Structure 1
Amino acid sequence: MGRNHSVALNVFYRVWPDGTVQAVSDGPPLPWKGGDYKVVEALDEASALERGLASGWL
């Protein structure tokens, strides 16, 4: 029987429309940025921004 070798990304980032990216694990959202952000799961900040762009949100 084969094993499922899926890789979980497990890092969540907030992405604002202006391209600002913040890891959720860094604490509360940046207070001066407002609440207009999307949370995405990605490998790193660059990937989070790409995912925001790919979803058409940014």
Structure 2
Amino acid sequence: MNEAELRDLKIGKIYKRDFFQCELQKNTMNYLEGCNKDFEEFTSKVYRIEGISEENKE
């Protein structure tokens, strides 16, 4: 899963499909936010180890 897929999951699939404003939505969003932070930390470590500036990811 990449950053775009994580964002799309959060915005597109959860918010749009939660017709009843389920109480578990908050838990799900908190969990996904934690996943996003972990993913960002991982990405930063990889860039640092590889000697790549985060501004020049491509």
- Alignment TM-score, normalising by the size of structure 2: 0.28
**Between structures 1 and 2, the one with greater strand share:** 1
- Alignment TM-score, normalising by the size of structure 1: 0.28
Q: Which has the larger radius of gyration?
A: 2
